[in-house]
Amino acid sequence: MLKHYMMILAATVLFSVQFVFTKYYQKIKGAGLFYSLMFSAMICLASVPFFIIMNNGKFEFSVFSFIIALMYALDAILCTVFGVKALSCADLSVYSLFLMLGGMLLPFAYGLFRGETLTWLKVVAVTLVFAAMLAATPKKRKERKKNAMAIVCFVSIFITNGLTGVLTFVHQRSAAQTVSASGFLLLCNCLRFFLSSALALCVFIYIKRKKKNATYDRSDDGTIAGAGLDGARKKITIKSWLLAFAVSGGYAIVHSAASLLTTITAGYVDAGVQSTIVTGGCMAMSAVYGLMFGEKITKRTALSLLLALIGTGCMMM
């Protein structure tokens, strides 16, 4: 069992690093739908070779695993899209708070449904977690109205990240015919890549048609000035895409390794215990990582993190 706990701790460190890559991508490409979908596609494209190697070059398939993998892929795409958007209007620590609490509470609820023990400490933990979420939301009415989209994003990443954990446990604990842990994640990433790419293509075509129908002001400098401007824009675009590919590759490496570790341990460790360790560790580390981007830990953020960590500790007792 100690081996499995060490694997979960390693996954926690890796998961926390992926937040940094997500923030860097948002800084480079923004929070538009097309770029969010491209981020999802690039992550999966970089992850597929990793899981092919981990699965000894085999591609496994079962009907049950395919259905769960399809649900997982759709859920992960939504989580990525709303996550990138959330980082455009919130600090890294607040983003990780909602993301990881969803990853803790939903698997915890699923564990209770599966017959895991409910103690008074777990009740206290859930209460503190909800208090932490309330502390992290905007206080003033004008601020709440201004950040309505941020709240929508927070709720979305809370639910979607929690569902990925639930789906993982459903697959790993099922009595139906399933593929291996690495085979399941390979299937998930393949499906997510094709779905993300198809959706990104649709959004790209829509944007191109919209631009084609729009009217633009032409430069008085003529074709030479216009060509120079286009050349500068092209260089900026190429540089930003190269950085985006590099960031996506880094994300893919840490996320793939962490996902594999949590998927393997899901068959041996209770859902509530695993999700709690990952959540508490990621929230604490994300507050430190946020300082890299010049983010300040406000009193409300510090209070929410403190409540969440205390709740996490209660969950582990």
pLDDT tens-digit series, residues 182-212: 999 999 999 999 999 999 999 999 888 887 7
- Which of the two residues, 36 and 287, has the higher pLDDT score? 36
pLDDT above 90 for 61? yes
207 SS3 class: helix
What is the residue whose two structure tokens read 């399809």? 70
Contacts of range 291-295, beta carbons closer than 8 Å, 24 or more positions apart: 292/20, 293/23, 293/27, 293/92, 295/91, 295/92, 295/93
What does the alpha-carbon distance between residue 11 and residue 269 come to, in Å, rounded to a whole number? Answer: 14
pLDDT above 70 for 155? yes
**Six-digit token string for 196:** 């993300």
Alpha helices in 33-147 (DSSP H): 33-54, 63-87, 92-113, 120-136, 141-146
Q: What are φ and ψ of residue 305, in 5° steps?
A: -65, -40
What does the alpha-carbon distance between residue 101 and residue 105 come to, in Å, rounded to a whole number? Answer: 6
pLDDT above 60 for 218? no
What does the alpha-carbon distance between residue 149 and residue 130 come to, in Å, rounded to a whole number? Answer: 20
pLDDT above 70 for 216? no
Average pLDDT, the chain: 81
**Six-digit token string for 208:** 């191109």
Amino acid occupying residue 60: E
Q: How many CB atoms lie within 10 A of CB 148?
A: 11
